[in-house]
Amino acid sequence: MFELLSERLKNMNGEPEIYIYDDFSGEFRNQVFFTVSDVLNLYFENDHSDMWGFIHDSFAREKGLKKLGNYEVTWANYGEHNIEYYLDNSSSEDLLDFIDYTFNIFDSVLRDVKQRYSYENNSNTNVDKAIQELNYRFKQHRLGYEFVNSELIRIDNTVIHHNVIKPALRLLYDENFIGAEEEIRKAFEYRRKSDNKNAILEAGKAFESTMKTICDLKGYTYDKVKDTAQKLIMILESNHFYPAYMSAHLTNLRTTLETGLPVVRNKNAGHGQGSLVVNIPDEFAEYALNLASANIVLLIKVYNNTK
């Protein structure tokens, strides 16, 4: 992607990144359309696939709509025209849903689908370029989102996002911590939709699932139904999961974990809210997800070093 002069001058100011989450310009929407087109236009309508129509129909089905625009599904190129209309006119939430859904299809499905009449093109390379451009456009427009590991996630803090959250997602994916990976993904999805209560609940589940998986892999005995985060931390410690040479650095680990995420989860999201509706501020949800991710990174790295 070429960085225009106006963008270079803007970036030269060195101002902190202030992210936008719910205001998507026409320029950004157009760029998303071009990026999607770069991928889908490589697939020609034939007996096996019309990718524009497939994306249109499957996404419309998920949204409970008959079509995404004004073109009837019996008209030629209805998928492309209706998707263009949808990108231009959809709400911020609907736009994010479309991006999340479509790029998930790109990343998880189209990598294995060859373009029938474009043999010189490489599906993996095309998908990688599309994801790279999408993330570049988010950054270009100061939008607080990034597509990572087949999912659109929200960025609340640049440093924490790149040094804590992304490594956690990558480690969970690479190490096949399937349960924890699914739960942390749900946490970020709830956070993206401002459902902070469920974001904290899922973050807590991911943290506990990571420890349970480690216990399974290491052969540690625990109660799969009753043991909470506090109990699981004690089990890992009692089994000397932490290497001796790291003891000086991990002296307060148990205290940190016990008084960090489990407390936030238990006090704010893990119990009934009675007659009052519990409103969890964004900063608490961000803290819970960041702490869960940091703990997950630490635990998996320790596990990797004790294999």
**306: pLDDT confidence band, cut at 50, 70 and 90?**
confident
pLDDT digits (tens, 9 = 90+) for 22-55: 899 999 999 999 999 999 988 765 433 488 999 9
C-alpha gyration radius of the chain: 22
What pLDDT shows up at residue 199?
86
Give me the residue label for tokens 């911020």. 92
Least confident of 90-94, 162-166, 203-207: 162-166
Map out the domains of the chain as residue ranges.
Answer: 25-143, 157-305
User: What pLDDT digit, counting tens, does each position of 271-285 carry?
Assistant: 555 555 567 788 888
pLDDT at 203: 86
Distance CA 178, CA 174 (A): 10
Alpha-carbon span 57 to 73, nearest angstrom: 9
% of the chain surpassing 90 pLDDT: 32
At 212-239, the pLDDT tens digits run 999 999 999 999 989 988 888 889 888 9
Q: Cα separations (Å) of 243 from 36, 213, 237, 250?
A: 48, 18, 10, 9
Q: Which CATH code of 1.20.120, 2.30.180, 1.10.3470, 1.10.10 fits the domain covering 157-305?
A: 1.20.120
